[in-house]
Amino acid sequence: MTIVLTPVWQNGVQKLKMAPQPPPRPQHGLTPPELDDEVHETRCMTQLRGKVSDIERYIYLSALKQHDPHMFYRLCLKHMAEFTPIIYTPTVGQACQEYSHNYRRPEGLFASIKDKGKIKSVLRAWPKIDDARISVVTDGSRILGLGDLGINGMPISIGKLSLYVAGAGIRPQSTIPICLDLGTNTQKYLDDPLYLGMRKRRVPTNEMTEFMDEFMHEMSVQFPKLLVQFEDFSTDHAFLYLERYRNQYPVFNDDIQGTGAVVLSGFINAARLASAASGQPLTDHRILFFGAGSAGVGVAMQLMSFFTLEGLSEEEARNRIYLVDTQGLVYASRGELAEHKQYFARTDYTGPPIKNLLDVVEYVRPTALMGLSTTSGAFSPDVIQTMAALNPLPIIFPLSNPVKLSECTFEDAVRFTNGKVLFASGSPFHELEHRGQMLYPGQGNNMYIFPGLGLGAILARCSSVTDSMVEASSLGLANSLTPEEEDMNLLYPQIERIREISAFIAMQVIRAAQTAGVDRNADLRRMSDSELLAFVTSKMWNP
Ligand SMILES: NC(=O)C1=CN([C@@H]2O[C@H](COP(=O)(O)OP(=O)(O)OC[C@H]3O[C@@H](n4cnc5c(N)ncnc54)[C@H](OP(=O)(O)O)[C@@H]3O)[C@@H](O)[C@H]2O)C=CC1
Ligand SMILES: CC(=O)C(=O)O
Ligand SMILES: [Mg+2]
């Protein structure tokens, strides 16, 4: 069963009403007599593949999800590698950019700054209050690497929640996609007659914080069992609101914590291979981050635990990490630094700014290069070749989304390292053959983490999401490679196994929640690991 939101007009205002629950199958007489499920799968896939562009495929799947959610999720699970680039990155980026033009029907909840003081009534409009378990909330201010899209950010919340359903079996009707309308600073949208959001520039932070305080409070009152995932807030607000609410409500920030967890996981697997090739100890890795925003710093924070788990002190771990932003290498004596960059600012360099990435690479001599900069092609052939000259098996992760903003392509990484590269990107690339050998790119995307992390937090009824739960999700993912996947030198498991992986991650997250004492479902404490895994799996919704 799924929720169907039907727009109805009342006094000139469009409102959502929950349509009657659709029967599992339309009644006899209302469908063609020989409509057969198996054949219909083929029909849907043929229609999908016949579309001329990815955005057409997105629109088709969005309609299919609404009128036949069982079929949508069945196909999604069967064709995960084909569906994710459409319902998620990269195509969801285009769907966001064109949202106001392609808009067809309401699919989520909108809360506007104009609703300040009465957010409760907005939330009450949501039809299935009792069931709500997970909400993805964006303010549209930094959608993927595409900038401030304002209200057009809604599809990112929708897309992430589709992956919660497909990837972790969260019940569709217990998901709430939310886009906050706090204005936009993108002139193109302010000038667009079809733009669906408020035609005002973004409100200042103090006003936004008052709004957010009311919003988070009302969310906890209206939806007492809800976990909130903050998504694609601009970096300053991402850090601000995570810190402000993380000890008060069950909430996490996907870009800071989910990305940190997925990259730590891929890095653990990559570092083992790289160290085996170089003979250098794991603790000798040096990681250079190109990009020092919410994602770059979030990942850097999480990667600290790679070193501390290997026995280094916090100070030694921090020393293994270097950041680069638009001004070059981040170091303490460079001048005033944004708060989120200060912890990693180098104190062992005091010279003039090193601005050029190639110069920074030559200075740092990193074993790993991470791109979270939104800058397409920043890992130039020179940079990649230098990484290959410095390391027998360099780790190169261009993680910016969507694919057109990736710091390099898989093809370039393979070509300029002569096939000797440990690679993961934020958006998917195709495998390729190099000198008779198939090489597989990893996808270092938080989509491997948030479904399982969310499922674990929901089932344990967590009062908050602790760093230890996030770390557990990462280690759970790192340890989920099968022997066959290890033989293929994969850094991440195949996405088709997402359900199995999410169940395993959820189990690890629940155990971490219990250790931290933030679980409110004490029954799970009495279960053995195998019982807990069976319980998690039994709770997954199946189309
Ligand atoms: N793979 C995944 O799962 C995820 C990927 N991402 C991706 O990460 C990217 C960054 O996100 P986020 O951190 O929130 O974004 P921000 O815009 O906050 O950060 C971008 C960072 O890159 C730096 N930067 C931008 N251009 C350049 C340049 N030409 N040279 C050097 N540095 C540059 C910025 O420098 P300055 O600080 O000086 O402005 C800033 O530090 C996005 O593309 C996003 O899609 C995010 C989350 C998950
Ligand atoms: C994947 C993701 O969360 C991002 O690019 O923002
Ligand atoms: Mg994001």
pLDDT tens-digit series, residues 37-69 = 899 999 999 999 999 999 999 999 999 999 999
Atom of ligand 1 nearest to the CA of 292: 41
What confidence category does residue 378 fall into, taking pLDDT thresholds of 50, 70 and 90?
Answer: very high
Same domain, 132 and 265: no
The CA-atom distances, in angstroms, between 415 and each of 118, 288, 384, 434, 451 are: 57, 21, 9, 9, 34
pLDDT in tens, 12-24: 344 445 443 444 5
Cβ < 6 A, ligand 1 pocket: 142, 144-145, 235, 255, 259, 262, 291-296, 324-327, 372-375, 399-401, 405, 426, 444-446
User: Residue 12 maps to which CATH number?
Assistant: 3.40.50.10380
Domain with 411 in it? 257-445
**428 CB less than 6 Å from ligand 2?**
no
401 annotated as ligand-binding:
yes
pLDDT in tens, 231-262: 999 999 999 999 999 999 999 999 999 999 99
Same domain, 216 and 283: no
The tokens of 50 are what? 């016949």
Pick the last residue of a domain from 222, 249, 276. 249
Pick the last residue of a domain from 249, 265, 299. 249
Atom of ligand 2 nearest to the CA of 295: 6
- Residue 33: what pLDDT? 87
pLDDT in tens, 459-491: 999 999 999 999 999 999 999 999 999 999 999
Same domain, 481 and 424: no
| Residue closest by Cα to atom 25 of ligand 1 | 373
Same domain, 150 and 294: no
Same domain, 220 and 73: yes
- Burial pattern 67-82, b for ≥16 Cβ within 10 A else e, equals ebbbbbbbbbbeebee
Domain-embedded: residue 336: yes
Same domain, 437 and 458: no
At residue 61's C-alpha, the angle toward residues 55 and 63, to 5°, is 105
Mean pLDDT of 414-438: 96
pLDDT over 70 at 327, yes or no: yes
Domain-embedded: residue 326: yes
- Residue 159: φ, ψ to 5°: -65, -45
Q: Which SS3 state, helix, strand or coil, does residue 332 take?
A: helix
pLDDT in tens, 110-159: 999 999 999 999 999 998 767 899 999 999 999 999 999 999 999 999 99
Atom of ligand 2 nearest to the CA of 399: 5
- Residue 414: what pLDDT? 98
Same domain, 135 and 159: yes
**115 CB less than 6 Å from ligand 2?**
no
**464 CB less than 6 Å from ligand 2?**
no
Of 166, 131, 217, 229, which is closest to residue 470 (Cα–Cα)?
229
pLDDT in tens, 169-197: 999 999 999 999 999 999 999 999 999 99
Catalytically annotated residues? 88, 160
Distance 290 CA to ligand 1 centre (A): 8
| Residue closest by Cα to atom 2 of ligand 2 | 144
Domain-embedded: residue 487: yes
**446 CB less than 6 Å from ligand 2?**
yes
pLDDT over 70 at 25, yes or no: no
Domain-embedded: residue 304: yes
- Residue 131: what pLDDT? 87
Domain-embedded: residue 177: yes
- Residue 14: what pLDDT? 45
Q: Which residues are CB-neighbours of 194 under 8 A, at least 6 positions away?
A: 100, 101
Q: Which residues are CB-neighbours of 176 under 8 A, at least 6 positions away?
A: 108, 109, 126, 132, 134, 135, 136, 161, 223, 226
Same domain, 357 and 262: yes
User: Are the CB atoms for 418 and 388 separated by under 8 Å?
Assistant: yes
Ligand nearest to the CA of 383: 1
- Residue 328: what pLDDT? 98
Distance 409 CA to ligand 2 centre (A): 17
Q: What is the distance between the alpha carbons of residues 251 and 464, in angstroms, rounded to a whole number?
A: 6
The tokens of 314 are what? 């916090």
Same domain, 15 and 78: yes
Which residue intervals of 191-251 are DSSP H helices? 205-222, 235-245
| Residue closest by Cα to atom 10 of ligand 1 | 372
**138 CB less than 6 Å from ligand 2?**
no
- Residue 127: what pLDDT? 86
Domain total for the chain?
A: 3
- Residue 31: what pLDDT? 85
Domain-embedded: residue 56: yes
Same domain, 231 and 322: no
| Percent share of the chain, pLDDT over 90 | 92
User: Residue 433 maps to which CATH number?
Assistant: 3.40.50.720
Pick the last residue of a domain from 185, 220, 249. 249
pLDDT over 80 at 382, yes or no: yes
Same domain, 110 and 30: yes
pLDDT in tens, 266-305: 999 999 999 999 999 999 999 999 999 999 999 999 999 9
- The preferred substitution site among 373, 383, 474 for testing ligand 1, maximizing ligand atoms within 8 Å of CB, is 373
500 annotated as ligand-binding:
no
Mean pLDDT of 342-351: 97
Domain-embedded: residue 143: yes
Domain-embedded: residue 543: no
Same domain, 415 and 490: no
